[in-house]
Structure 1
Amino acid sequence: MDIQSLYQQAIKFAAVKHVEKNQLVPGTNLPYVVHLSNVAMEILVAAHYSSTFNLAYAIQLALLHDTLEDTSTTFEEVSAAFGVEVAQGVLALTKNDALSKAEQMLDSLKRIKELPTEVWAVKLADRITNLQVPPSYWDDAKKSGYRQEAMIILHELNGGNAYLEKRLNEKIMDYKQYITA
């Protein structure tokens, strides 16, 4: 299947799932699909700068990366619609709610690192996209913690995608402007 068809199939699936929860981009009135398409855009550009990159795999992951974590979607549904490999990638990008908040990200990063670097790239792209203007209700401690998490992601996924690593590093530096203390 061509990239455009894969993109359409995945974004429609994800949009339906996120709309069921009336999910918005945090701190905005924008539908969550805007976040997903921004992550996919980062992946599309990164693919252009990456010599060996499975864009078909990565674009599906980008658009589906939050379906297991944020909606009622099951692993089986993703697997049936997009294949086991995509479902496993989405699962690795999903935080395990059975763990403490402090353990969730490191556990996810560990699982991501066991999979192809396209999964790494989606995690990098996700955090790049999330390092926009923070929601107005976030205090400096929340913003600082989020920035620190981004630095951990960058460190742990070093070697996954040079283009996205450079982008994330720039976003981390720029994000300091939102922290007043």
Structure 2
Amino acid sequence: MTPNPLADLMRCVQFAAHKHKDQRRKEPSKPPFINHPINVATILAVEANIDDKEVLQAALLHDTVEDTDTTFEEIETAFGKNVADIVREVTDDKSLPKLERKQLQIEHAKTSSTKAKLVKLADKLDNLRDLQIVLPEGWPQERGEEFFVWAKKVVDNLRGTNEILESKLDEIFRHKNLLQ
């Protein structure tokens, strides 16, 4: 029997859904958190025409280590070293203070692998699209504006990776008057 090329991707969706099953996004409507990683993978596949299975899997898993009890070893065992390495590149070290983590994202963006950069671009695009609609609960308008400014700094260090995603992000930055 020929292996199903979508089987690994669907196992990954199921894994991420299980890991994020009790989490909600911070928007007032409290949508399920799993919508975000699915959106990130969908942005890559549908909008950016990315068909690299490892990139799509990493997109689905990009928040599992950061936000759940998942380990990099668990991801490597289930989905391989390459996927685990991409997830490792896009995962913040939650033991560090928030401002340091944000600065490290800006700095690491330049030297990340192309596959990690794709996940980061799609992640930023999904988060900024959500922020254009509604702020997370407890966020004053100023914090939302600061997020856009910070996200642009990260994206600027990811440039040259994917013209489609960068163009969509630039539309958002232009709307926020962050582009000249």
Normalized against structure 1, the TM-score is what?
Answer: 0.84
Residue 47 of structure 1 deviates from its aligned partner by: 4.3
Residue 126 of structure 1 deviates from its aligned partner by: 0.6
Deviates more, 1:83-92 or 1:105-114: 105-114
Gaps of 5+ in 1: none
Cα distance per residue 1:107-127 (max 9 Å; x no partner): 245445444312101111011
Q: Which one-letter code corresponds to 2:14 in the other structure?
A: K
Residue 7 of structure 1 deviates from its aligned partner by: 2.3
Indicate the residue corresponding to 2:171 in structure 1. 170
Q: Percent of pairs identical after alignment?
A: 34
Matched, 1:64 2:58: no
Residue 148 of structure 1 deviates from its aligned partner by: 0.9
Indicate the residue corresponding to 2:23 in structure 1. 23
Distance 1:159 1:9 in 2: 31
Q: Which one-letter code corresponds to 2:20 in the other structure?
A: H
In the alignment, is the contact (CA less than 8 A) between 2:109 and 2:154 conserved in 1? no
Superposed counterparts of 1:15-54, under 5 Å: 15-19=17-21, 22-27=22-27, 28-48=29-49
Question: What's the C-alpha RMSD, in Å, of the aligned pairs?
Answer: 2.1
Q: Which one-letter code corresponds to 1:38 in the other structure?
A: N
In the alignment, is the contact (CA less than 8 A) between 1:150 and 1:172 conserved in 2? no
Indicate the residue corresponding to 2:121 in structure 1. 124
In the alignment, is the contact (CA less than 8 A) between 1:61 and 1:86 conserved in 2? yes
Cα distance per residue 1:6-25 (max 9 Å; x no partner): 32111100110111xx2112
Normalized against structure 2, the TM-score is what?
Answer: 0.84
Indicate the residue corresponding to 1:89 in structure 2. 86
SS of 1:95 mapped into structure 2 = coil
Deviates more, 1:158-167 or 1:102-111: 102-111
Q: Which one-letter code corresponds to 1:168 in the other structure?
A: L
Q: Which one-letter code corresponds to 1:67 in the other structure?
A: T
Distance 1:97 1:151 in 2: 22
In the alignment, is the contact (CA less than 8 A) between 2:45 and 2:51 conserved in 1? no
